[in-house]
Amino acid sequence: MKIKKIPQRMCTGCMEMKPKKELIRVVKNKENEISVDLHGKKPGRGAYICKSAECLEKAVKTKRLERNLESKISEEIYAKLKEEIENAE
């Protein structure tokens, strides 16, 4: 029996490849609305971040999330991400 391949994605904070299930997805849809996608199914351009506060801080400091999504990210999205990370830990 063939072993199923686990999808890997890169964290925008630490730049490490990790299994998709271990990361939080931030998505920008066609209307340029940015939201946190906990299930990884929403359509649109996505960026992934680890469930650690250090990775979020790095991504905010270097503006990697904004660069990956090609648009400005509001403070409430960062607050929601921080809340999700705190709940995960």
Give per-residue pLDDT as tens, 8-49: 999 999 999 999 999 999 999 999 999 999 898 999 999 999
Question: What confidence tens digit (pLDDT) does each residue in 63-82 have?
Answer: 999 999 999 999 999 999 99
- pLDDT at site 2: 82
In this predicted structure, the answer to whether residue 62 has a pLDDT above a threshold of 90 is yes
Kindly list the structural domains of the chain, giving each domain's residue range(s) and its CATH number in brackets, ordered by start.
8-88 (3.30.1230.10)
- Give the torsion sign (CA, 57, 23, 63, 42): negative
The answer to whether 77 touches 35, Cβ cutoff 8 Å, is yes
- pLDDT at site 10: 97
Six token digits for residue 20: 């998709």
Phi and psi at residue 11, to the nearest 5°:
-75, 135
pTM above 0.85, yes or no: yes
> Within the chain, how many helices (H) and strands (E) appear?
3, 5
Phi and psi at residue 7, to the nearest 5°:
-65, 135
